[in-house]
Structure 1
Amino acid sequence: MGRVRASRLVSLLLLLQSKGRMTAQALADELEVSVRTIYRDVESLHGAGVPLYGDAGPSGGYQLLDGYRTRLTGLTEQEAESLFLAGLPGPAAELGLGDAVAATQLKLMAALPSPMRDRASRMATRFHLDAPAWYYDPERSPFLGVVADAVWRERLLEVSYRRWRAPEDVTRVLRPLGLVLKAGRWYLVAQGSTRISTYRVSQIQAATVSEESFSRPEGFDLAAHWTASLEDFQARQYTGSAVIRLSPAGWEAFGSHVLPVVARAAEESVVDDDGFFVATIPIESVAHATGMLLRLGGEVEVLEPEELREQIADAVRRLASIYL
């Protein structure tokens, strides 16, 4: 039996053990294979004596015999190593799980065979994951534990929240759906009275967990929702565009002075007869773009729009009146 197929059979067993009854189509989707392949894999497991049975019909599917548990300890070297990169001790501690993460790693280390233990230990001493971005102090989020408790137990959460627009201080009753750690900052994804929104946990001024439970929206996927929210935010944030001309030195430095979405747009630039790079980039506003492009000094020239060009020229004149 090939290594890939053996790994798939193990994954199939673990899926059934963790999720219970699953249809052949659901298993095929999870394992990214055809339904016919699932049928063959089930026959192989039957032949190996695994108590796996299937029921026909709309509510049917494959299921392990009640009480059957696999005793799978065959981690590959890469899997064992990756587990020591999977945990972020700082965020785990913020959630009150620091001791649990440390204990889990100790138990895993003790259970591994000696050669794999050495490799996993070496991985932990050579790689460290640091989530926060440069130049930002860690945010204080005193109500993170309360929020996490509401998320985990699916309880309504009443918060006093400080936002950037008026009225600044508001009170909301939320259905907390998940927590996301982004660049060292915690965000709460929650359903309010009308829609699902994102709240910065550090901006929560008070929080109370209710004993009233709620039902999560059917089919809600936190990771997919977060990705879609980021894309929507960028689409709403960058409502205009500008055409710029960068010197070779400006081209080299450009990515260090702008957000990734702007840098990616500049990659579509063309080189003119003088060896300068001409690119169309998205901008939030003329005022924001003025500050962003002034960082590059004389290594960039704005060609369009005229309003942005004039604002930068005005800023340069004011600077000259101070320093010259």
Structure 2
Amino acid sequence: MRSSRLLQLMLTLQHGRSTTARALAEETGVSVRTIYRDITALAAAGVPIWTESGPGGGIRLLDGWQSKLSGMTGVETTALMLLGVPSIAADLGLGEAIAAAENKLLRALPAPMRTDAQLWRERLHVDAPGWFTLPDVNVHLPVVSAAVFAGRVLELGYRGSTRRVDPLGLVAKASVWYLVASRADRVLSYRVDRIESATAASDLATRPADFDLAGWWAESMASFDRALLSFPCRVRLSPSAIRALPNVVGREATPDPTDPDDDGWSTVDLVLESEEVALGQLMSLGVGVEVLFPVSLRTALREAGLEIARRHT
């Protein structure tokens, strides 16, 4: 990306040493002709570059000049545009602040890099809630997030009881916000839209020095999935049902099927949440499913099919 290379050139020259176009070309992996075009673009954008040809000459920045983005690459600068995801910023009460920060960042960039960064804001929009769903109401999220970042104890009204917790972080999953906090030496997650009241206390929260929010969340979700899926069953599926299965039971719960039999159908061993849940999920596969085990699920699916047929006679 050209914006990344331009910023790399600017930061290289900012170190105060004079260099040559050939050395810059070797460092950035482009031709000398391209380097001269980049130098011209930076100069046109207001970067005070001094060049001199011949022995003892070279390319350098005007003495004492420093960019406002020391240490940042073009890719990093462009990636900052993604911080302003509208739904997340609005939930946190930071919509206006994020927009203002983005504008300041863009104004600090030289014109060629500003164009690339602006493209991300103009051409990428994240709509977090799923289809046919309304976003959750998170009236207490601003108070909760303020306590998280200030490191203050939170007093929560949650499911009819009062709980005093040490906030450790926030997680946004599929437009649902979760507070991760410790209480009585246990780390738990709380759905923010189910918090009935939230007050930040004056005392500081206790946070383990080695706590890794992303790592804890990943392990927590894996443990939850393992605990939830406890009903084994074996089914025979048509080719169309095999293709639809990940959308019905989830990709994590979809094992590899056996090779197709003479009818083109495959056998799959599943572990689902319960017999009731399995019945509803497998019924969505229509005529493309046959339950082989257990007998109780096979019978339940047969009876459900007979009832559907009776209602449509």
Deviation of 1:304 (Å): 1.4
SS of 1:84's partner is helix
- Distance in 2, matches of 1:176 and 1:279, equals 43
Residue 319 (1) aligns with residue 298 (2)? no
Contact 2:167 2:205 (C-alpha < 8 Å) held by counterparts: no
Per the normalisation by structure 2, the TM-score is: 0.74
Per the normalisation by structure 1, the TM-score is: 0.72
Cα distance, 1:145–1:193 mapped onto 2, change above 3 Å: same
**1:85-122 residue CA offsets vs partner (Å, 9 max, x unmatched):** 24312211221211221111111111222222112222
- In our comparison, the structure showing a higher alpha carbon Rg is 2
Listed as ranges, the gaps of 5+ residues in structure 1 are 11-68, 163-168
**1:58-110 residue CA offsets vs partner (Å, 9 max, x unmatched):** xxxxxxxxxxx997536444333322224312211221211221111111111
Contact 1:85 1:128 (C-alpha < 8 Å) held by counterparts: no
Out of 275, 282, 300, the residue aligned to residue 293 of structure 1 is 282
Out of 237, 240, 254, the residue aligned to residue 246 of structure 1 is 237
Out of 108, 127, 132, the residue aligned to residue 129 of structure 2 is 132
Residue 273 (1) aligns with residue 262 (2)? yes
SS of 1:140's partner is coil
Q: Which residue of 1 aligns with 2:113?
A: 116
Q: Which residue of 2 aligns with 1:105?
A: 102
Question: What are the equivalent positions in structure 2 for 1:298-309 lying under 5 Å apart?
Answer: 298-309=287-298
Contact 1:85 1:129 (C-alpha < 8 Å) held by counterparts: no
Question: What are the equivalent positions in structure 2 for 1:157-172 lying under 5 Å apart?
Answer: 157-162=154-159, 169-172=160-163
SS of 1:271's partner is coil
Question: What are the equivalent positions in structure 2 for 1:47-62 lying under 5 Å apart?
Answer: none
Aligned-CA RMSD value: 2.5
Residue 142 (1) aligns with residue 139 (2)? yes
- Distance in 2, matches of 1:213 and 1:173, equals 12
Q: Which residue of 1 aligns with 2:167?
A: 176
Out of 221, 228, 237, the residue aligned to residue 212 of structure 2 is 221
Amino acid at match of 2:95: G
Q: Which residue of 1 aligns with 2:26?
A: none
Cα distance, 1:281–1:87 mapped onto 2, change above 3 Å: farther
- Distance in 1, matches of 2:70 and 2:200, equals 39
Q: Which residue of 2 aligns with 1:24?
A: none
Question: What are the equivalent positions in structure 2 for 1:63-102 lying under 5 Å apart?
Answer: 72-73=69-70, 75-102=72-99
- Distance in 2, matches of 1:72 and 1:273, equals 65
SS of 1:215's partner is coil
Contact 2:257 2:266 (C-alpha < 8 Å) held by counterparts: no
SS of 1:318's partner is helix
- Distance in 2, matches of 1:181 and 1:262, equals 23
Cα distance, 1:285–1:315 mapped onto 2, change above 3 Å: same
Contact 2:168 2:180 (C-alpha < 8 Å) held by counterparts: yes
Q: Percent identity?
A: 39
Amino acid at match of 1:299: G
Contact 1:246 1:300 (C-alpha < 8 Å) held by counterparts: yes
Deviation of 1:219 (Å): 0.7
**1:276-302 residue CA offsets vs partner (Å, 9 max, x unmatched):** 122112200111000011011111111
Deviation of 1:176 (Å): 1.1
